[in-house]
Every structure is written in structure tokens, then in C-alpha cells.
């Protein structure tokens, strides 16, 4: 069963920005303290993303425990977790017509945060080259790589 959320244009645009952060924040490397999140990921952002998170959890069947484990550096190989990551990309509008990750929004968002700009660009370029597989595998591989390359900007919603 596929769950789709219909959003008006303004909300979709706002959610795309949050999606950018979601991609940047999907997984934390284990060197990041348990339960922490980047300072630019506010409670309001998490609240706004809640409907997408819930829809993707319902669609993929991923457990909250698997999501929390990733935040603590424990990378489960569960297919549901991998597909959850791709679902977030889709719902936040970060996938283009070819079903490939479009990182323009993410890079634009981080242009506003100069302290992270170079780090994010390097991580994106590195990880986009090594990610492969079907949609779910691609999302998982990219996110795991990104978490390792840029743990300061990474958080899984």
C-alpha cells in the first residue's frame, strides 16, 4: 500500500526545505553523541516533518527502534529501513522524474549556513558517486556514506 500526502504548493515548498535537511540529517555517524541532532534541526522542523515520517513508517513498515538505532550509529540492514529513507526523499520532493536524488535543494539550503557549505558539498559529491542499487539501496548507501562524511549535518527524521 502506498501512502501519499497531498500538500498545497506553499507547504510542499516548505517541506522540500525540511526534506533537504532530512537528507542531510538522515543518519548520524557513531561518533556523534547519542540522541543529538544538528543545531539547525529545530523542534518546529521535526514537528512539520511528522506527517511525512508517519506516512513513510506506515508505507515501509520500518520500526521506530530501527530509526533510533541509526541515530545512534547502528546501521540495520533491514529492507524496511532502506525503503524508509527513499520514501522520505520522495515525500520531501527530492527525487526527480527519473527517480534519482536531486540535491539542488539540499545544496541551496546549506549555502545559507556557511560553516557547513564546503563539508556538505564534498560529502554530497563523494556519496552520490558511490551510491548504487535499486531505489532503497541507493538511499541507504548514500545516507550511510553521508553520515560518515558529514556527521555534523546528519540526522534521521
SS3 call for 95: strand
Q: What is the pLDDT of residue 74?
A: 95
Q: What is the DSSP letter of 101?
A: B
Closest CA to 67 of 58, 76, 59: 76
Closest CA to 20 of 86, 94, 90, 118: 94
Fold category of 9-30+41-150 in CATH = Recoverin; domain 1 (1.10.238)
Q: Distance (Å, rounded) from C-alpha 124 to C-alpha 121?
A: 5
Q: What is the pLDDT of residue 6?
A: 52
141 touches 132 (CB < 8 A): yes
Residue with cell 498545497: 8
Q: Distance (Å, rounded) from C-alpha 51 to C-alpha 147?
A: 24
Q: Distance (Å, rounded) from C-alpha 30 to C-alpha 156?
A: 13
Q: What is the pLDDT of residue 39?
A: 75
Q: Distance (Å, rounded) from C-alpha 148 to C-alpha 29?
A: 5
Q: Distance (Å, rounded) from C-alpha 116 to C-alpha 64?
A: 29
Q: What is the pLDDT of residue 20?
A: 46
Closest CA to 90 of 120, 63, 56, 62: 56
In the chain, domain spans = 9-30+41-150
Q: What is the pLDDT of residue 35?
A: 53
pLDDT (tens, 9 = 90+) of the chain, 157 residues, equals: 555 555 555 455 445 544 544 444 433 322 233 457 777 788 888 888 899 999 999 999 999 999 999 989 999 999 999 999 999 999 988 888 777 777 776 777 677 778 888 898 899 889 988 888 899 999 999 999 999 999 988 888 8
Amino acid at each position: 500500500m502506498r501512502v501519499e500526502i497531498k500538500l498545497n504548493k506553499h507547504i510542499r515548498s516548505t517541506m522540500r526545505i525540511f526534506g533537504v535537511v532530512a537528507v542531510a540529517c538522515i543518519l548520524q555517524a557513531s561518533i556523534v553523541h547519542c540522541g543529538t541532532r544538528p543545531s539547525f534541526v529545530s523542534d518546529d522542523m521535526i514537528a512539520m516533518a511528522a506527517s511525512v515520517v508517519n506516512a513513510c513508517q506506515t508505507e515501509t513498515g520500518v520500526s521506530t527502534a530501527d530509526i533510533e538505532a541509526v541515530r545512534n550509529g547502528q546501521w540495520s540492514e533491514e529492507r524496511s529501513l532502506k525503503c524508509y529513507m527513499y520514501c522520505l526523499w520522495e515525500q520531501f520532493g527530492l527525487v526527480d522524474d527519473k527517480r534519482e536524488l536531486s540535491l539542488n535543494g539540499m545544496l541551496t539550503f546549506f549555502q545559507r549556513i556557511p560553516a557547513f557549505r564546503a563539508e556538505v558539498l564534498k560529502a554530497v559529491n563523494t556519496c552520490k558517486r558511490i551510491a548504487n542499487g535499486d531505489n532503497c539501496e541507493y538511499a541507504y548507501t548514500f545516507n550511510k556514506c553521508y553520515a560518515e562524511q558529514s556527521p555534523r549535518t546528519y540526522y534521521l527524521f
